[in-house]
């Protein structure tokens, strides 16, 4: 099939734009926690492989407007997560100091938080929580992101949702300061 370009026109005067029927309204700390959770039953997760470069991960986050990727193996099982903070902080430099090489050779698996170090929240608790509970949870854990899990039909954990302090702050209309600390780098590299 051959595709022809569409006919374009100039924008006429007095033109406005569509607004969603249900715009992202600001939330309060007393609103249900689920209102600020990215629900993976409604939105597709953005993933990356452990052997992809951190440059590829950074580019994927940038183009999708997100700051965290789930790291998955060839069977799409979660093996870790990587954040923009992991890539844009001193972690790559520290990795190069320990292992040598050049930045372009650093792989996602070198900087990611491995699955066994990822703390998760049960959906049963999130379903009964308020936005304020999530804010306090992220602050206490000193994390920018959270993962919500539930049980599938076989009783296995499955990731149901993702939490982002920056998304919660945007929806609240105020800053949410978690003072993220990178504890994963030391533990991750002690196992190499």
Q: Tens of pLDDT along 136-154?
A: 999 888 888 999 999 999 9
Q: Is residue 23 part of a domain?
A: no
Distance, CA of 86 to CA of 142 (rounded, Å): 14
* Residue with token string 């100091």: 97
Cβ atoms of residues 126 and 34 within 8 Å: yes
- The distance from CA 48 to its chain's CA centroid, rounded to whole angstroms, is 12
Q: Which residues of 128-164 are buried (b: 16+ CB within 10 A; e: fewer)?
A: ebbbeebbebbeeeebbbbbbbbeeeeeeeebbbbbb
Mean pLDDT of the region 81-102: 94
Residue 183 has pLDDT above 60, yes or no: no
Q: Is residue 9 part of a domain?
A: no
What total of structural domains would you count in the chain? 1
pLDDT band, residue 22 (cuts 50/70/90): low
Map residue 52 onto helix, strand or coil.
coil
Range of the domain at 127: 33-190
Residue 77 CB burial class (10 angstroms; 0-12, 13-18, ≥19): exposed
Q: In what order do the strands lie in the sheet with 157-164?
A: 38-39, 157-164, 145-151, 120-122
Cβ atoms of residues 145 and 81 within 8 Å: yes
Q: What is the CB-side half-sphere exposure of residue 137 using CA atoms within 13 A?
A: 22
Q: Is residue 186 part of a domain?
A: yes
Q: Is residue 53 part of a domain?
A: yes
Q: Is residue 51 part of a domain?
A: yes
What pLDDT does 184 receive? Answer: 42
- Predicted structure pTM score: 0.78
Q: Is residue 108 part of a domain?
A: yes
Cβ atoms of residues 118 and 65 within 8 Å: no
Q: Is residue 24 part of a domain?
A: no
Q: Is residue 27 part of a domain?
A: no
CATH number for 144:
3.10.580.10
Among 163, 153, 154, smallest CA distance to 118 is for 163
Residue 185 has pLDDT above 80, yes or no: no
């Amino acid at each position: 099939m051959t595709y022809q370009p569409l006919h374009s026109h100039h924008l006429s005067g007095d033109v406005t734009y569509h607004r969603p029927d249900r715009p992202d309204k600001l939330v309060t700390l007393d609103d249900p926690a689920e209102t600020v959770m990215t629900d993976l039953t409604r939105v597709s997760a953005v993933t990356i492989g452990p052997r992809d470069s951190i440059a590829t991960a950074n580019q994927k986050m940038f183009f999708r407007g997100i700051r965290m990727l789930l790291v998955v193996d060839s069977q799409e099982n979660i093996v870790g997560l990587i954040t923009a903070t992991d890539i844009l902080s001193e972690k790559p430099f520290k990795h190069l100091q320990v292992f040598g090489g050049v930045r372009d050779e650093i792989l996602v698996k070198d900087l990611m938080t491995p699955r066994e170090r990822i703390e998760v929240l049960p959906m049963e608790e999130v379903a009964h929580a308020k936005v304020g509970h999530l804010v306090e949870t992220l602050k206490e854990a000193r994390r920018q992101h959270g993962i919500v899990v539930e049980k599938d039909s076989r009783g296995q954990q499955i990731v149901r949702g993702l939490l982002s302090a920056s998304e919660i702050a945007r929806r609240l209309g105020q800053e949410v300061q978690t003072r993220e600390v990178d504890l994963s780098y030391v533990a991750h590299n002690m196992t190499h």
